[in-house]
Amino acid sequence: MLGWGQPAHTARFVNAARAQQLDTLGIQRIGDLLYHVPYRYLDLTSTAQLGLLKTGDATVVGTVYEVTRRTTHSRGRSTGRRQLTITEVTLTDGTGTLIGVWFNQPWVARSYRKGQTLAFSGEVKLRNGLKQIIQPFVEKIADAADEEGAEQAEECDQHSYDASSNRSTANMGRILPVHSTTEGLSVGWLRRIIAAAIDDYAAVSEYLPTSLLRKRNLPPYNWALQQVHFPLQMADADRARERLAYGELFDLQLLIARKRYHLTRNCTGHAHQCFGKLHQALTACLPFDLTDDQDVAVSQILDDMASPHPMQRLLLGDVGTGKTVVAAYGLAVAADSGTQAAMMAPTEVLAQQYAHKLGPLFDQIGLRWALLSGSTPADARAQLLDDLRSGQIQVLFGTHALLEDDVVFAQMSLAIVDEQHRFGVQQRRALHHKGGSADVLVMSATPIPRTLTLTAFGDLAASYLYTRPVAGAGVTTQKVSFKKIADAYDAVHAAVKKGQQAYIVCALVDESSKIEAQSAVQMMHQLAAGEFSDYRVQVLTGRMRSAEKAAIMDDFRAGKIDILVSTTVIEVGVDVHNATVMLVLDADRYGLAQLHQLRGRVGRGHVAGEVWLVSDSFARLAQERFAALLSTDDGFHLAELDLKLRGAGELLGNRQSGLANFKVADLATDSDLLDAARADALALIDADPDLAADELALLRTRIIALEDKLGDWKAAG
């Protein structure tokens, strides 16, 4: 990859200004430039004549005959009089005409001129006997006098490059790549920069072993780099993209496989004693049988714990799927083995909840446990630390206070970390090391799509809890506009009249915003004085002091409040079975996962819940989110949809997205490719953990360089 690490400004046609523009596209180095793959292509190899054009998807080329713009007034039913600007660009090619139509984008009229040669791509429809494409994708093929082309030719004369080749009929009969670009950098210029970079830097050696290329029928690396940008036929573009995507996925899976090898098979941890007295006692005193999912998860965890290699496992399940009791088995097994276990929660409330849920159970079976948090008094803390050091305490619950240096275990062999998302990888490791090479179990209530689990959390094996042991009556979800909010209010009236309770959730743009908290208060007064003046209405916002919040929640739980008007503070931890109706106002402002969490607050008991999403938004993403929510109640399925809608980076937040940040591969659509890459990487590391074989020399160099780059990642071993 000679020269790939050089800064992008060293590429041909890239001056300081363009380097800036490239930077905003995430292109800092030559290598980034080569991996900036097109998001679509314009296939000019087989453009139809306009006269013969049929309806449906098409790409055509013609000369601009006229550009018109007109303004009309339409009367929308809800919006009143509304101005509509219609811009039309008519193309001809001697055989017929085609009209490109734009609504409310008046600047389009300024972008095109009579005489220009343009390519239009989109869905051809017939309207009043005329062929048209609404909002076509447009590429300028040539200008009337080729003014712009001449200008550009001059600009890059110094590079002695044939600039006319882009903005000319030379593009006819080719497949043109369209790369995403930015303000000030035209598609044509970016295309030219990338073409030059490919000439200069894409002649690289193959690093994948021939056996793999053959097995997966993948084309050579240098061919793929070239063809993904400038394919001779569309099928080549697909093959090239697949090769590059596979390469990215394989790199990461190889890193993961090597790390797992060093963390587990090549590392000695604690081999636990799995079916001891406490384990049996726990089963005997549980008031219920485990669900099938719980059964499987427990045996997976116990298998890992019994093995002499350290466990690195993720336990995934929605709120209420019964993760706690699964964790309890791990804790009991550690105690049975004569060692200690730690269970760490992200907040004090959650740590206390564990102590509440499991403490009595452990007392019953004679397992010695304690709770350590930031608010543990100093003398109690000192005693606790003594008991921990002497091995008296078998299970310690707590917050990140567990990570402090003076918290020393006699021998800790199991670390359970709750809510991976909030802790991050560092804390997981810190606990692992506190116990020498302790077994690690990470629990999360945030459903994560499988493809993300295999990449961002790929160093962890995963267990899933899909079903809730206590199902509840469930929820129905519907979406209404503000005009129809009376329907939603009626649902609240009906519920409260039956003695049930309701939530009204107000949108919140920014958690710390005073204005939003006030808007919830305003909404409360408005509703309390008007629509719901007969009921007891109370407001709850994130800005209230915790004691105040706790008091209101207690009142709500006790049925002293009929309607709780709230910001999203109710998202976590609230479990009031008598609450059956929820209104979410301005529902478009929330993410999919958040809406799903919110609606999980109702319908937990015997009465079915009703959720009303109220929104006037026509934004495509909001519409898709609503459709997804109405279509399924399955958190994992929604997580998959969310991944499609938002992409891995946003879903994971910055902290963990680094590893899933692929330039070509797409976790929402490449799951087959991911499975292939994963299987290949595991098999390779199984056979040759050090990648010592001759044919792996280039691959070894590449992977070691990647490991060095991700220094922290490697150090985790």
* Helices marked H in 559-696: 592-599, 620-631, 635-646, 648-657, 671-687
Q: Which of 227, 321, 444, 501 binds ligand ADP (CB under 6 A)?
A: 321
Could you tell me the smallest distance in angstroms from the CB atom of residue 294 to ligand ADP? 6
Closer Cβ to ligand ADP, 325 or 527, answer by number = 325
Residue type, 574: V
DSSP conformation class of 163? G
Could you tell me the smallest distance in angstroms from the CB atom of residue 440 to Mg ion? 10
Q: Are 449 and 639 spatial neighbours (Cβ–Cβ below 8 Å)?
A: yes
Determine, following the binding rule CB under 6 A, whether residue 312 of this chain makes contact with ligand ADP. Answer: no
**Considering CB distances under 5 to 8 angstroms, the limit depending on partner class, which of ligand ADP, Mg ion, none binds residue 253?**
none
Applying the rule CB under 6 A, the residues between 493 and 532 that interact with ligand ADP are none
Q: Which stretch binds ligand ADP (CB under 6 A): 317-325, 360-368, 381-389, 475-483?
A: 317-325
Closer Cβ to ligand ADP, 573 or 658, answer by number = 573
Applying the rule CB under 6 A, the residues between 272 and 301 that interact with ligand ADP are 288, 290-291, 294
Determine, following the binding rule CB under 6 A, whether residue 317 of this chain makes contact with ligand ADP. Answer: yes
Could you tell me the smallest distance in angstroms from the CB atom of residue 317 to ligand ADP? 5
Q: How many CB atoms lie within 10 A of CB 388?
A: 23
Closer Cβ to ligand ADP, 565 or 570, answer by number = 570
**Considering CB distances under 5 to 8 angstroms, the limit depending on partner class, which of Mg ion, ligand ADP, none binds residue 291?**
ligand ADP
- The SS3 assignment for 147 reads helix
**Could you give the CA distance from residue 186 to residue 188 in angstroms, rounded to a whole number?**
5
Could you tell me the smallest distance in angstroms from the CB atom of residue 318 to ligand ADP? 7
**Considering CB distances under 5 to 8 angstroms, the limit depending on partner class, which of ligand ADP, Mg ion, none binds residue 444?**
none
Q: Which stretch binds ligand ADP (CB under 6 A): 27-35, 164-172, 315-323, 684-692?
A: 315-323
Per-residue HEC secondary structure of 298-325 comes to: HHHHHHHHHCCCCCEEEEEECCCCCHHH
Closer Cβ to ligand ADP, 323 or 596, answer by number = 323
- The SS3 assignment for 36 reads coil
**Could you give the CA distance from residue 413 to residue 272 in angstroms, rounded to a whole number?**
8
**Could you give the CA distance from residue 15 to residue 374 in angstroms, rounded to a whole number?**
55
Task: Tell me the pairing of strands 537-540 and 501-505.
Answer: unpaired
Could you tell me the smallest distance in angstroms from the CB atom of residue 685 to Mg ion? 20
* Helices marked H in 658-710: 671-687, 697-709
Q: Which of 322, 398, 447, 449 binds ligand ADP (CB under 6 A)?
A: 322
Could you tell me the smallest distance in angstroms from the CB atom of residue 366 to Mg ion? 24
Q: Which of 63, 273, 324, 392 binds ligand ADP (CB under 6 A)?
A: 324
Determine, following the binding rule CB under 6 A, whether residue 352 of this chain makes contact with ligand ADP. Answer: no
CA 600 to chain centre: 20
Q: Which of 167, 258, 323, 596 binds ligand ADP (CB under 6 A)?
A: 323
Give me the long-range contacts of 506-515 (CB less than 8 A, separation at least 24).
Answer: 506/565, 506/566, 506/567, 506/585, 506/586, 507/584, 507/585, 507/586, 507/587, 507/589, 507/590, 508/542, 508/567, 508/568, 508/589, 509/589, 511/542, 514/543
Copy the structure tokens of residue 674.
């991911």
Residue in 380, 424, 417 with CA at minimum distance from that of residue 399: 417
Q: Which of 257, 325, 345, 685 binds ligand ADP (CB under 6 A)?
A: 325
Determine, following the binding rule CB under 6 A, whether residue 447 of this chain makes contact with ligand ADP. Answer: no
Instruction: Report the interface residues with ligand ADP, using CB under 6 A.
Output: 288, 290-291, 294, 317, 319-325, 469-470
